[in-house]
Amino acid sequence: MCGIVGYVGHRPALDVVLAGLRRLEYRGYDSAGVALPHSGGLAVERKAGALVNLEQRLDEIGRDTFTGTAGIGHTRWATHGPPTDRNAHPHRSGPADAGKTAVVHNGIIENYLPLRAELEALDIWAESDTDTEIAAHLVALAYAGRAADPSTKGDLPASVRSVALRLEGAFTLVVTHADEPDTIVAARRSSPLVLGLGEGETFLASDVAAFIEFTRNAVELGQDQVVTITRDGYDVTDFRGEPVAVSPFEVTWDLAAAEKGGHDYFMLKEIEEQPTAIADTLRGHLVDGRIVLDEQRLTDQDLRDVDKVFVVACGTAYHSGLLAKYAIEHWTRLPVEIEVASEFRYRDPVLDRSTLVVAISQSGETADTLEALRHAKDQKARVLAICNTNGAQIPRESDAVIYTHAGPEIGVAATKTFTAQVAANYLVGLALAQARGTKYPDEVVREFHELEAAPKAVETVLESLGEARALGQLLADSKAVLFLGRHVGYPVALEGALKLKELAYMHAEAFAAGELKHGPIALIEPGLPVIVVMPSPKGRAVLHSKLLSNIQEIKARGARTVVLAEAGDETVKPFADHLFELPPISTLLQPLVATVPLQVIAAEIARARGYDVDKPRNLAKSVTVE
Ligand code: AGP
Atom of ligand 1 nearest to the CA of 369: 16
* Of 572, 494, 495, 575, nearest in space to 535 by CA: 572
Q: Which residue minimizes the CA distance to atom 5 of ligand 1?
A: 315
DSSP strand pairing (355-361 vs 308-313)? parallel
Does 29 score more than 90 pLDDT? no
Per-residue confidence (pLDDT) for residue 254, from 0 to 100: 78
The CA 414 to ligand 1 mean position distance, Å, reads 6
- Provide the percentage of residues in the chain whose pLDDT is more than 70: 99
Mean pLDDT of 66-88: 88
Atom of ligand 1 nearest to the CA of 316: 8
User: What one-character DSSP code corresponds to residue 445?
Assistant: H
Distance of CA 456 to the CA centre of its chain: 15
What would the pLDDT profile of 513-567 be if each residue is shown by its tens digit?
A: 999 999 999 999 999 999 999 999 988 889 999 999 999 999 999 999 999 999 9
The CA 396 to ligand 1 mean position distance, Å, reads 19
As a whole number of angstroms, the distance between CA 305 and CA 353 comes to: 9
Amino acid at 252: T
Amino acid at 112: Y
Computed over every residue of the chain, the mean pLDDT equals: 94
By most ligand atoms within 8 Å of CB, the mutation choice from 267, 311, 316 for ligand 1 is 316
> To 5 degrees, how large is the angle CA 572–CA 575–CA 577?
110
Mean pLDDT of 420-445: 97
What would the pLDDT profile of 610-625 be if each residue is shown by its tens digit?
A: 999 998 988 877 877 7
Q: How many helices (H) and strands (E) does the chain have?
A: 19, 26
Query: Which among 80-94, 254-268, 386-400, 422-436 has the top mean pLDDT?
Result: 422-436
Q: Which residue minimizes the CA distance to atom 7 of ligand 1?
A: 315
Q: Which residue minimizes the CA distance to atom 3 of ligand 1?
A: 413
Answer yes or no: are the C-beta atoms of 421 and 360 closer than 8 Å. Answer: yes
CA–CA distances in Å: residue 353 to residues 243, 309, 321 = 59, 11, 21
Per-residue confidence (pLDDT) for residue 258, from 0 to 100: 77
Answer yes or no: are the C-beta atoms of 171 and 180 closer than 8 Å. Answer: no
Atom of ligand 1 nearest to the CA of 363: 15
The CA 613 to ligand 1 mean position distance, Å, reads 15
What would the pLDDT profile of 110-152 be if each residue is shown by its tens digit?
A: 899 999 999 999 999 999 888 999 999 999 999 999 998 999 9
Per-residue confidence (pLDDT) for residue 296, from 0 to 100: 61
Q: Which residue minimizes the CA distance to atom 9 of ligand 1?
A: 315
Give the list of residues 6+ apart from residue 376 with CB closer than 8 angstroms, or none: 310, 312, 344, 351, 355, 357, 359, 383
Amino acid at 360: I
Q: Is 96 exposed, middle or buried (0-12, 13-18, 19+ CB in 10 A)?
A: buried
Write out the CATH class of domain 466-608: alpha beta
182: left (phi over 0), alpha (psi -120 to 50) or beta: alpha
* Of 190, 210, 216, 170, nearest in space to 3 by CA: 210
As a whole number of angstroms, the distance between CA 387 and CA 397 comes to: 12
Q: Which residue minimizes the CA distance to atom 6 of ligand 1?
A: 315
What is the dotted CATH code of the domain comprising 3-257?
A: 3.60.20.10
> To 5 degrees, how large is the angle CA 110–CA 113–CA 117?
150
Per-residue confidence (pLDDT) for residue 77, from 0 to 100: 80
* Of 550, 365, 136, 236, nearest in space to 127 by CA: 136
Does 595 score more than 90 pLDDT? yes
Answer yes or no: are the C-beta atoms of 358 and 324 closer than 8 Å. Answer: yes
As a whole number of angstroms, the distance between CA 193 and CA 186 comes to: 9
Per-residue confidence (pLDDT) for residue 295, from 0 to 100: 65
Per-residue confidence (pLDDT) for residue 64, from 0 to 100: 94
What is the dotted CATH code of the domain comprising 260-462?
A: 3.40.50.10490
- Lowest mean per-residue pLDDT among 364-368, 380-384, 390-394, 441-445: 390-394
Q: List the chain domain ranges.
A: 3-257, 260-462, 466-608
By most ligand atoms within 8 Å of CB, the mutation choice from 623, 624, 625, 626 for ligand 1 is 623
- 260-462 has the same fold as 3-257: no
Does 80 score more than 70 pLDDT? no
What would the pLDDT profile of 231-274 be if each residue is shown by its tens digit?
A: 999 999 999 999 999 989 888 877 777 788 888 899 999 999 99
Q: Is 426 helix (H, G, I), strand (E, B) or coil?
A: helix
What would the pLDDT profile of 173-210 be if each residue is shown by its tens digit?
A: 999 999 999 999 999 998 889 999 999 999 999 988 89
What would the pLDDT profile of 285-322 be if each residue is shown by its tens digit?
A: 998 899 988 666 788 999 999 999 999 999 999 999 99
CA–CA distances in Å: residue 53 to residues 33, 75, 228 = 10, 12, 30
Atom of ligand 1 nearest to the CA of 622: 15
* Of 198, 215, 196, 197, nearest in space to 206 by CA: 196
Dihedral (Cα; 364, 370, 374, 380), 10-degree rounding? -50
What are the residue numbers of the active site? 2, 621
Answer yes or no: are the C-beta atoms of 588 and 433 closer than 8 Å. Answer: no
Atom of ligand 1 nearest to the CA of 421: 14
Does 371 score more than 80 pLDDT? yes
Ligand 1 pocket list (CB less than 6 A) = 314-317, 361-363, 366, 369, 412-414, 502, 622-623
Query: Which among 96-110, 239-253, 444-458 has the top mean pLDDT?
Result: 444-458
Per-residue confidence (pLDDT) for residue 2, from 0 to 100: 80
The CA 621 to ligand 1 mean position distance, Å, reads 7
Burial 397-435 (b: 16+ CB within 10 A, else e): ebbbbbbbbbbbbbbbbbbbbbbbbbbbbbbbbbbbbbb
Measured N-to-C along each axis, helices 590-608 and 489-504 cross at an angle, to the nearest 10 degrees, of: 20
DSSP strand E in 351-444: where? 355-361, 382-387, 400-403
- Lowest mean per-residue pLDDT among 16-30, 53-67, 298-312, 324-338: 16-30
Global pTM value? 0.82
- Provide the percentage of residues in the chain whose pLDDT is more than 90: 83
Answer yes or no: are the C-beta atoms of 304 and 354 closer than 8 Å. Answer: no
